[in-house]
Structures are given as structure tokens and as C-alpha cells.
Amino acid sequence: MPDFVELWVYLSSSPLFGLTATLAVYVLAQAAYVRLRQAPWANPVLWSVAVLATGLLLARVPYPTYFSGAQFIHFLLGPAVVALGWPLWQRRAALRARWGRLLLAAVAGGATASASAVALAWAFGLPREVVLSLAPKSITAPVAMGIAQAIGGVPALSAVFAVLTGLVGALTGRYLFALLRIPTDADGWMARGFALGTASHGIGAARALQVNPDAGAYAGLALGLQVVLASLLMPLAFRLL
């Protein structure tokens, strides 16, 4: 059926394809996630990425062709980072009351995540550009790409590492918190959400938001703080190294 082939070639090269595929797959993955009672392993980002990447490879659609459509969704990450000012503003009273401890936790947690990634990557003998691209992986993807650029990493790699980092937090956070005996009272949800936002940014925050609204708010706060701290401190730290 040459007509079908021709039609597919036409459709798959149009920006409409990447945009439609991304939204449709994500909506299905999200529905399945809800149906599976939001089990961590059913994470909608994980399955959307897996299904889309496999589909594109099998259909031999190059990534740039896909991205020409998906970029319209990607673009919204900028306004979304700006929008993080809103949950921060809503929690400004809590922020003012506990800013010392939260700031300490944000600096300690963020520095641990980044420094341990660089140290381990170096110890494992990974190439230099991979090591540098791993440094900002706990920061939300669009900002991680900017920081990678500033410190000599590869922005596209950092974006992928950031997504993987988010998934590790979203998928395993619950078990780690149980191991650390973090309770599920008000303070416990604050610690859980703030930790997820600090070390696994938007994807961890999305997970926290689904589990508990307070955890979600503190995760948003944490990822906003990481964005500010990391974009200020990380280029400085790497200039000194």
C-alpha cells in the first residue's frame, strides 16, 4: 500500500506528529498510573519516555523530527519555572518561620547530590563531559541544561540525566524514607516532600504532590530553592576547581 506509506512519511515528518504522540501517550500513561493506584513503578514519565523512544526507534523517526513537534510542550518548562514562584509565595509564612533549617537542608542535600555524583562518576572512570553533565542532574531539566552549558557539560546529556534522577527519586523515595524512619505526620511530610524536591526536582515533586498536598508544596519550594542555589553556586564551584 504505497498510499499508506506516503501518508505515514508525510505525517511523521510534520510537527503535528511529535506533539500529538507526546500528549496522547502521556494521557494514556497517566490514566494507567491512576488505574494502578499510583504505584511508583507505574510512573507516567518513565512509561511515556519508554513507549515514545521505542516507537520512534522502531518507526525510524529521527529525534529532531519528533522534537520539532514536542518542542511546544518542552517550551512550557520556562513558564513552569517562573510559575514555581507561586507555591513559594503561598508558603512564604512557613518559609520565613523555618528558612534557616530549610536553607541548611537545601544546601546540604543539594551539595551532597551533586558532589557525590561527580565523585562517583570520576571514581567509575566516566569521560569528563559525562562527569560534568552529571553535576547539575538534581536540578529541574531546563535549568540543568543551562548550568551544564556554563560548566562545560553537554546540555542534552544533563537533561536526560535530570529525568533519570527525577525517576529514581519518584520510584524509590517511599522505600528510602521508610528505611530512614521518616514519619508520615505533618513534619514527616514536610521532610519527605522537601527531600524529593531537593534531590529529584520536578518529577519527584510531581510524585510528592500526588501522595500528599503538603509534601507537594514543600517539594515545589525545595526545587525552586535548588534552582536559585545551584545556578548561583554551581558555576562558582566549578570555576574554583
Partner 1 sequence: MAPMTPLAGLAWLLVFQSAGEALSHAFGLPFPGPVVGMVLLFAALFHPAVRAPVAACADFLLGHLSLLFVPVGVGVMTHLGLLEDYGLRILAVIALSTWAGIAVTALVLKGGRRRTAGQDDAGLR
How is residue 78 written as a grid cell?
Answer: 520556562
Residue carrying C-alpha cell 542555589: 229
Applying the rule CB under 8 A, the residues between 99 and 118 that interact with partner 1 are: 100-102, 104-106, 108-110, 112-114, 116-117
Calpha distance 51→31 (Å, rounded): 15
State the DSSP code for 40. Answer: G
* Binder among 79, 93, 96, 240 for partner 1 (CB under 8 A): 79
Q: Which is nearer to partner 1, 7 or 184 (CB)?
A: 184
Q: Angle CA(206)–CA(222)–CA(72) in degrees, nearest 5?
A: 50
Q: Which is nearer to partner 1, 9 or 119 (CB)?
A: 119
Instruction: Of 56, 57, 47, 58, give the one whose Cα is nearest residue 21.
Output: 56
* Binder among 161, 214, 215, 221 for partner 1 (CB under 8 A): 161
Is residue 84 within 8 A of residue 220, CB to CB? The reply is yes
Question: Which residues, in sequence order, are CB contacts of 63 under 8 Å at separation 6+?
Answer: 56
Q: Which is nearer to partner 1, 4 or 103 (CB)?
A: 103
Q: Which is nearer to partner 1, 5 or 58 (CB)?
A: 58
Task: Tell whether residue 7 is a contact of partner 1 (CB under 8 A).
Answer: no
Task: Tell whether residue 44 is a contact of partner 1 (CB under 8 A).
Answer: yes
How is residue 194 written as a grid cell?
Answer: 522537601
Applying the rule CB under 8 A, the residues between 168 and 227 that interact with partner 1 are: 168-169, 172-173, 176-177, 180, 182, 187, 190-192, 194-196, 198-200, 202-203, 205-206, 209, 220, 222, 224, 227
Q: Which is nearer to partner 1, 8 or 210 (CB)?
A: 210
